[in-house]
Amino acid sequence: MKNQVVLITGGTSGIGRACAFEFGRAGARVVVTGRDAAKLAGTAQALAAAGIEHRTVAGDVGVLTDANRAVADTIAAFGRLDVLINNAGLSMRAKFADVDVRVLEQLMQTNFFGTVYVTKAALPYLLESKGTVVGVSSIAGYRGLPGRTGYSASKFAMNGFLEALRTELLPQGVNVLTAAPGFTASNIRHTALLANGQPQHDTPRDEAKMMTSEEVAQHLRQAVAKRQRSFVLTGEGKLVVFLNKWLPGLMDKMVLNNFRKEEGEL
């Protein structure tokens, strides 16, 4: 990663923030986007204290002008782009029968179109560097999860987009990596949207038993260095993907029972 330039969307918490430090400590120059100005400033201060060369860009990648500006500011600062990590994302926790459809639209705008917008703006520079596009997806992109219809839809859409893009870019030497971390201790469940579009400010799961964001970031850096095409993390995540392929009917029941254990779920 020495002297490579890495743009990370949604980099003020969780996996995105951990990636900023992981890639930065490996010698990369990092650019981090975020919607929360206070968190963005805190991340910048921490990166500076760690001696990591960086820039921050305030904005929402689900807004086309903000997505374009994130790439433009990266090129203005460092003159190149080697790795794009599409990490910005929202989740949800509500039954489809109850949820305001605008919540699903919001998830698609951030999780899917945010990835599309930034990747589109970054592509000319990644073609020059023969770099890597990363999509931080989810097990929900392989197996639909109850209470997460919009989230699952956005991640399935991301996976399909990246698979098609990978195939298109094979002759140009740009790598496309789809990363499914599995359940990870991060901020995404605290900010998950409820049926009315308000964040739940809590998590129904035991975060202490999950893989840490730092572990995910380490796997991501290694996968980028090896130019992998995809990976699924955690034993539970790999089992879900495997069983859903070969025993989908059984997985319907297993997934439903698992999510019924969450307080107030379904």
Mean pLDDT value of segment 129-137? 98
pLDDT for the residue numbered 201: 61
**Per-residue pLDDT for 38 more than 60?**
yes
Q: Which of 18-22, 24-28, 116-120, 253-257 has the lowest mean pLDDT?
A: 253-257
Which residues are marked as active site?
A: 151
> How many percent of the chain have pLDDT more than 90?
82
**Per-residue pLDDT for 110 more than 80?**
yes
**Per-residue pLDDT for 136 more than 90?**
yes
Any idea how long the chain is?
A: 266
pLDDT for the residue numbered 103: 95
**Residue pLDDT, tens place only, 61-96:** 999 999 999 999 999 999 999 999 999 999 999 999
Q: Which residue ranges make up each domain of the chain? A: 5-90+103-188+211-235
Confidence of residue 192 (pLDDT cuts 50, 70, 90): confident
pTM to 2 decimal places:
0.92
**Per-residue pLDDT for 263 more than 70?**
no
Confidence of residue 190 (pLDDT cuts 50, 70, 90): low
CATH numeric code, 5-90+103-188+211-235:
3.40.50.720
